[in-house]
Structure 1
């Protein structure tokens, strides 16, 4: 049985059941433009009705025995395992992922479901010290309805990493996936939980544009927003959420530094640079956006990287030989073209690549980039390696810490102690000694500093803080006798 037969979701929204949408748009394969179906698009009214329905369903869900909630996630994990090939195919066609990346994304999404099956049975609070004859408890209780706004680049994983723990901890969810990847990041999740037996009304999937996202952030029945996306949009969401005093988690952009120290193994360094800069055509918030290379290795490493890029195959990701698939659309490809052109105008050297072809962009290496070049500080979201030389540890730290972002950093060195000394000076939420910058293992608290987020974390132990709130409760055998 197909999980995502178009007859199920075509021109529909998911509200615990599949209901007709009042408007729709084509679902297209990124690489070819082929129409794969018609996506039902939500309105602000749909969001309001979903929020009311979710709020009504949430209390009964939270009150269920923890074994029953856990069983839903056990079945969901089994369903994702059974339908993995179909979901991988959707990730390849709808989001432009190469098959290697799509397979990895499905694997870590499965890990999330497995981890979340244990959350209903996790510790729910603490006993606090108090006076004799009195019990003092700090309890974790669900927030209520969580609004999730997810991006296009790791569509299944970045939606599920919020949806699954939120549900497992007793909340309801209204999910707005990016409309460009709404099948693999929204309807796939809806189908899995529907078949797994999640009670109706707890999960709603409402694809749409900015108006739908704005409705989520302003709705009084939604207690919290978990957003993953650009810093520019994150600022708007944070401001809107503040109007109704919502809790808000913003996982935003990055301009991440990969530092190559002089004692690094050159081939390992080149492999890490290529992976960190070009995985999923650079469309990852953790992409290695600034490659800081010690001047003693700079020219040699540059040539090794160029040789690797020459062997890359760019094309339709349904071909297993392709290394780089398309960008999400032609508009993004043109934006990358403009950034590369501006970088060259400001003194960078274009070593290879640098040309857009519809939704595809040639893998590109820029050298000689200085701190006053616009591409030094701007997030690219395209397949561009920006090479920057440095001559001392202090200069590497200064260059890495320049700018507003503080998400991820990597350091490659044969001297771990030296690398750790440098790492301790970097203002980032994710730090990797002897690895590139693109890393996430589902059990780690994920988030950045500065313009990369608002200080919240998601994943692992952080999920308890993100999707529950504390309630203090005291119990006494009889009420106190107060003096008035």
Structure 2
């Protein structure tokens, strides 16, 4: 793979292009705040030019054959496979994620790319719908156009590829803006993979910039046809409002407050093992992360005792150490927010079952028990290694508590009765429920998305095909039609 110093530029119209802003941004390693790369930011004018380039490039790319599109996707996957070690190390350095997390992210990225190969033939298929003897009804699926893609800091590579690969497979072009904090793994490396793969110029464009430079430019450009965004709910609401005004499609994967429900007949040891992983992977900085652990009173004391003991023993420190489980939070702002949540929870009267500590830029696990579900602690998407445990008097109350949130992304139920577990899963208002597993699950062939304030639309095959294409009805009158006037 080329040096990071080469990949710290925009990728526009098939060229590695320096930003024209007078501002630069230092991408920092969250663990020690060392500089990973410096980026001269792209300007609003460069972004506007990029959308025009993408519009023109899409017209030609839409003419590519299925074989041509599949070949590009295959070659991009080959690049990511061949450079796995350096890519994983870059993810660790940029995101502060552990080696385990970075390897999972690389694997998921490849899965989304390889799944897109399977449905590259979905465009231009013609389906016939019955009509009258004199009329044929043909339903065509066509590329949508230009996709505006905005990805977050936590799992930047696979959450970027989740939009980019389907868009390209289905004959669209993309203007992509990763979170600048993780611009290399969230954008530049993906651009390099598709450059290696021979993707025509202008079909994928990666712009390294920030909101101070471009404002709402990724949302308001007249050339875009869909806005794909993964991030916070407040930003998602802002995007939704602008998209509605301009009648643009959206695919929004937003915040979560995922409940992990332990029913009265659950295997506590299995539940604890799952909860430890689902709460503390990537320091809790995942939209699907367990945010509230809701335990039936009959299992509560045993669960708390075992969960706290496990949380207290998790290794923390340098994420490049293979033994590390808890690495740093992404930046100082996130760390300060987490510390404030902790102080507020203490002031509200929640019991501190495990007192963590700040060690450099690492926050070790905190566990609060006897938490009120209406408290700020329980109702906030924490994005930190802070666990909240809530007692439920009955299984029914546990489900009610699980639903008592504005969010509805992921959820889990632990029970020994799998049939009843699935029945109860349908009562939780979330896009996904996992029985006898934790909440952080993803795959390229499932309908990934949330309900309520957790988003709009679904990723995954075949649901993303509907999101990223347009359906057209063509009728063919085979005989002269006679009209009443």
TM bin, normalised by shorter chain, reads over 0.9
Contact kept in structure 2, 1:347 and 1:373, CA below 8 Å:
no
Give matches, 1:89-128, under 5 Å: 89-122=89-122, 124-128=125-129
- Secondary structure of the 1:408 match is coil
User: 2:418 matched to 1:420?
Assistant: no
With normalisation by structure 2, the TM-score equals 0.96
Give the alignment partner of residue 14 of structure 2, picking from 16, 38, 42.
16
User: 2:264 matched to 1:259?
Assistant: no
- Aligned mates of 1:410, 1:91 — CA distance in 2: 28
Contact kept in structure 1, 2:122 and 2:141, CA below 8 Å:
no
Partner of 1:327: 329
Give matches, 1:130-149, under 5 Å: 130-149=131-150
Give matches, 1:126-275, under 5 Å: 126-211=127-212, 212=214, 214-275=216-277
Structure 1 residues 377 and 187: alpha-carbon distance in aligned structure 2, compared to 1, 3 A threshold? same
Q: How many Å apart are 1:305 and its aligned residue?
A: 1.1
Partner of 2:391: 389
Contact kept in structure 1, 2:11 and 2:191, CA below 8 Å:
no
Q: How many Å apart are 1:55 and its aligned residue?
A: 0.3
| Structure 1: gaps spanning 5 or more residues | none
Partner of 2:81: 81
Q: How many Å apart are 1:8 and its aligned residue?
A: 2.0
Partner of 1:402: 404
The alignment's C-alpha RMSD in Å is 1.5
Q: How many Å apart are 1:479 and its aligned residue?
A: 5.3
Q: How many Å apart are 1:117 and its aligned residue?
A: 1.4
Q: How many Å apart are 1:110 and its aligned residue?
A: 0.7
Q: Deviations over 1:101-158 (max 9, x none)?
A: 1111111111111111122223734211111243211111111100001001111000
User: 2:281 matched to 1:283?
Assistant: no
- Secondary structure of the 2:455 match is coil
Q: Deviations over 1:177-230 (max 9, x none)?
A: 000001001001100000001000111111222253610100000111000000
- Secondary structure of the 2:340 match is helix
Q: How many Å apart are 1:364 and its aligned residue?
A: 1.0
With normalisation by structure 1, the TM-score equals 0.96
Out of 285-294 and 39-48, give the one that drifted further.
Answer: 39-48
Q: How many Å apart are 1:349 and its aligned residue?
A: 0.9
Give aligned pairs, total: 481
Contact kept in structure 1, 2:407 and 2:454, CA below 8 Å:
yes
- Secondary structure of the 1:136 match is strand
Which 4+ runs in 1 deviate beyond 6 A? none
- Secondary structure of the 1:365 match is strand
Contact kept in structure 2, 1:255 and 1:406, CA below 8 Å:
yes
- Aligned mates of 1:12, 1:457 — CA distance in 2: 29
Structure 1 residues 49 and 478: alpha-carbon distance in aligned structure 2, compared to 1, 3 A threshold? farther
- Aligned mates of 1:11, 1:65 — CA distance in 2: 30
Partner of 1:318: 320
| Structure 2: gaps spanning 5 or more residues | none
Structure 1 residues 357 and 331: alpha-carbon distance in aligned structure 2, compared to 1, 3 A threshold? farther
